[in-house]
Amino acid sequence: MYVDVPSTSGADAPGTRHRWHYLDNGVGTDGSAVKGTLLCVHGNPTWSYLWRTYLAAGLAEGWRVIAVDQLDMGYSARTGVFRRLAHRIADLEDFVGAVGLSGPLVTVGHDWGGVISLGYAHRNRQGLAGVVLTNTAIHQDPTRRIPAPLRLALAPGVHDVGTRATTAFLDVTLALARPALERDVRKAFRAPYRRVADRQGIANFVSDIPADPSHPSYTALTGTAEGIRSIDVPVLMMWGPHDPIFSDPYLEDLAQRLPHADIHRFERASHLVQEDADTASTAMEWLEARSVGNTAPGLRPAVDDRTGGTATNAAADENALSGGAATGDATPYRPLGRRIHELATGPDGETTAVAEMKPTGPPRVLSWRELDDDVAAVAAGLASLGYGPGSRVSLLVPPGVDLTVLIYACLRIGAIIVVADAGLGTRGLSRAVRGSAPDVVIGIERALIAARAFDWPGRRISAAPLSAVRRRALRVDASLNDLRAARPADATPERSDADADADADADAAILFTSGSTGPAKGVVYTNRQLSAMRDAVESTLGLGPGSSLVAGFAPFALLGPALGATSVTPDMDVTAPRTLTAQALADAAAAISATVVFASPAALRNVLATSSDLSADGRTALGRIALMLSAGAPIPVPLLEAVQELVPAAALHTPYGMTESLLVADIDLDGIRRAAAAADTGLDGAGNGVCVGLPVHGARVALSPLGAFEGHSTSDCDRDGGPDGGLRGGSRDDSRDGEAVGPPTTTPGVTGEILVDAPHVKDRYFRLWKTQQDSAHTRPWHRTGDVGHFDADGRLWVEGRLGHVVTSPAGIVTPVGLEQALETLDAVRLAAVVGVGPAGTQAVVAVVETASAGRRPQLASAPLAAAARAIARQRGVEVSAVIEVAALPVDIRHNAKIDRARVAAWSARFLSGGRAGSL
């Protein structure tokens, strides 16, 4: 559509009119009801075509969507005049006036269209109902150079050739899409810019970048940047973190200026986030959740201010779903660090609080009094550098004494600890740190080298002393010892319970998931929720003052002091569980006369593998263990029974949980045996999966049945596995490959997505609004992304991940039970069951790891295939193909999880006769 608009911006001669091109989905133009209008403004060098999905989404949801081509861009008029930022904001006002738009109005912007739309929003508050932003920037720090690609585009000799004389700037921008744009889409984006004269606006836009305060548009940019601080309408920011131009520092700047904004990072997306992810559906969902626009009486959803989740009447009786004690039990809030202070000031102040084993020499040990003093000293040092409530502190320090001190020092001053596992690898760890936008990074030298190499945000503090040369090279401001020294040596230690006044509902921690089911997600906990986690562990497992714990699992390095338990970190790399040997475990146990051990399944396998090297004293130390805990992946009974021989006096527990809720259910070896016996007798609901027991103290568990499961093929899906976003699909970036949509139930034998409600469930995901919305849309439940069922005794069985459910013509197939059955075959070491083909008609494929498999994968031998199919038929499943491989892709670092999505995609290629490549 076109409209002639008089120009009042001051860029043109009086009386000038320009022809504007725009797209309009026409909602409400016939007099029908409309929720409001989205005014979409593109950047450089795109045009209104960028917003085509928004026009379609608005049509479906009752929103009028107008996407405008800025002057000199797209199919709007070429004015022949250099238009500055101030002119473009006024131009947009002229257009809105000419078209006759009125509230409720939501501005939507991308790239420099984001700046211009914000300028419009700042100056036109009347009728403004909301603001939506995608990758953009509103402020250029004078001390920080503009991104290198823009510096190149502005360089003399490059600027005109790259932006106007050729299509280079346009080509590079389109090439940023992830995945690559289809040919017809690229052609459409290029269409308005075929001739050199058509591209003058692209060149002018680049020239108008306010690179420093001397630029003519710097004042207009700064005025808008400061003005938006008072915008109080709902704001949504959707970001592609791989953008080489509008990178994370610009997002952080916007977040500080608009602190009430909802943010969603599409972790795989780049600059053209609208092309890389389904931002249109996310925007529509957000408009509904935040009640933006005209909502019919009685239809306005109840909005949770923190999560953005909407209330639901899910036809579930609260009392009928209480597998454990009801959420919101009467346990009073006690700050996480309270026990450290209490024990430090009590008669046990000189007893051991934390210990750390060393490869050589004696362990490093702190008493409760020493721990409390060290926490106070480091807290004072952090405060002296200006950190306090709300500061984000990324801790890249291995579990041990220093990490313990840092965690509780941060909590004492109200700072938010950010913890990401080094096992994420360099790229994954970098994504996590950059995404959390820390104010300071405290790390070992290896982490600080990565911080320097990848330009992570925040100041840097070294965990260990560094030479002056190394400090300068790594841009380190201080060391942990410097923090300790900030308090005068002769000062009397402050024994006040400094964290007693910590805001219970303030953010306390961002803990990143393992990344084994997709990009690691930051999980936000408040002080109250961390304390509830401690209480759940104490009540369920009986840990507390007097307990002595070997923490071979990182979360318990955090919780040990909070429980009042003496804890020791064994000599191992906690991010590589296979580095824990039997003797190292025994040495750690002996150091504190430990009665409790927590180690991952992968660690226990190596402990068993090295048990022949145990000394007599080591066996004695392990003989004193009364409680052995292991979690993170299914643990076969034979492995548990072998571990039992090593710790004969121990009760073996396999609690089930996740980063979002450390404890959900618990069971011991005897309970597993009873559950297996019930399954063998065919009792209602038993079998088909891993039994994880009954809900823990304070937790309720229910299921959302898969009867109405909306499945998708996993052969070409994203490898997120959930709950990384998009429960209802549609996003190329964050899909979960299906959704359980039935109402919550605890009926035995019904398979569904596992739902959890407990005081110690996470508060939300950090800057993942869509992911949080999806995980919490069945309030008050957190949707775990795991699939399982209850047996007749109320025990929970886990059958796999929601994203790995196979939707065959005969019905839904969950993988874990069948995989375990296949692994009983003598020839099979490991099995993965996946679906290949379109949803609803998927073929069930078994990929088995055998010792006899050659380097090249092959269809299984006739005897093995027949045996596998016979086992599957006993479970009511028809297996279409059995493939033998030498090794399945297993994430040993993160608790031996099979990458089923990868196996599914590979199997589809292999069975189609294409080049499958290596698995």
Q: Per-residue pLDDT for 742 more than 80?
A: no
Residue 218, CA distances (Å) to 86, 146, 214, 225, 277 in order: 10, 13, 7, 10, 32
Assigned token pair, 252: 């952080």
- 601 or 477: which leads in pLDDT: 477
Query: Cα angle at 89 between 86 and 95, to 5 degrees?
Result: 140
pLDDT digits (tens, 9 = 90+) for 273-282: 999 999 999 9
Q: What is the pLDDT of residue 547?
A: 94
Question: What three-state secondary structure class fits 780?
Answer: coil
Q: What is the pLDDT of residue 885?
A: 94
Query: Which of 608, 549, 557 is CA-nearest to residue 580?
Result: 608
Assigned token pair, 466: 């560094």
Spatial separation of the C-alpha atoms in residues 488 and 483, rounded to whole Å: 11
pLDDT digits (tens, 9 = 90+) for 798-822: 999 999 999 999 999 999 999 989 9
> Where does the pLDDT of residue 609 fall: very low under 50, low under 70, confident under 90, or very high at 90 and above?
very high
Query: Cα angle at 313 between 310 and 315, to 5 degrees?
Result: 145
Q: What is the pLDDT of residue 724?
A: 29
Spatial separation of the C-alpha atoms in residues 73 and 816, rounded to whole Å: 55
Residue 173, CA distances (Å) to 45, 146, 150, 190 in order: 8, 17, 11, 11
> Where does the pLDDT of residue 682 fall: very low under 50, low under 70, confident under 90, or very high at 90 and above?
low
Q: What is the pLDDT of residue 146?
A: 87
Assigned token pair, 376: 């106070």
| Residues making up the chain, counted from first to last | 919
Spatial separation of the C-alpha atoms in residues 468 and 457, rounded to whole Å: 22
Spatial separation of the C-alpha atoms in residues 379 and 697, rounded to whole Å: 33
List of residues 6+ apart from 47 with CB closer than 8 A = 69, 73, 74, 75, 189, 192
Q: What is the pLDDT of residue 727?
A: 22
Mean residue pLDDT of the chain comes to: 88
568: β partners: 355, 550
End-to-end CA distance of the chain: 51
Domains in the chain: ranges and CATH: 2-143+216-289 (3.40.50.1820), 148-207 (no CATH), 661-804 (2.30.38.10), 806-911 (3.30.300.30)
Contact between residue 530 and residue 523 where contact means Cβ atoms under 8 Å apart: no
Q: What is the pLDDT of residue 488?
A: 59
**Mean pLDDT throughout 713-742?**
38
Q: What is the pLDDT of residue 897?
A: 77
Q: What is the pLDDT of residue 304?
A: 42
798: β partners: 690, 788
Q: What is the pLDDT of residue 498?
A: 59
Lowest mean pLDDT among 36-40, 76-80, 898-902: 898-902
The alpha carbon of 194 is separated from its chain's Cα centroid by a whole number of angstroms, namely 41
**Mean pLDDT throughout 702-712?**
72
Place of tokens 């500061």: 391
Query: Which of 583, 567, 577, 566 is CA-nearest to residue 621?
Result: 583
Render 257-313 in DSSP notation, one character per residue: HSTT-EEEE-TT--S-HHHHS-HHHHHHHHHHHTT-S---TT-PPPB-TTT--B---
pLDDT digits (tens, 9 = 90+) for 457-473: 999 999 999 999 999 99
Using CA atoms of 327, 331, 334, 336 in order, give the dihedral in degrees to the nearest 10: -50
**Mean pLDDT throughout 431-435?**
93
837: β partners: none
pLDDT digits (tens, 9 = 90+) for 860-913: 999 999 999 999 999 999 999 999 999 998 875 555 678 899 999 999 999 998
Query: What's the burial of 822, exposed, middle or buried (CB within 10 Å: 0-12/13-18/19+)?
Result: buried
Tell me whether strands 262-265 and 235-239 are parallel, antiparallel or unpaired.
parallel
Question: What three-state secondary structure class fits 217?
Answer: coil
Peptide bond connecting 363 to the previous residue in cis, omega within 30 degrees of 0: no
**Mean pLDDT throughout 87-113?**
96
Contact between residue 799 and residue 817 where contact means Cβ atoms under 8 Å apart: yes
Q: What is the pLDDT of residue 646?
A: 95
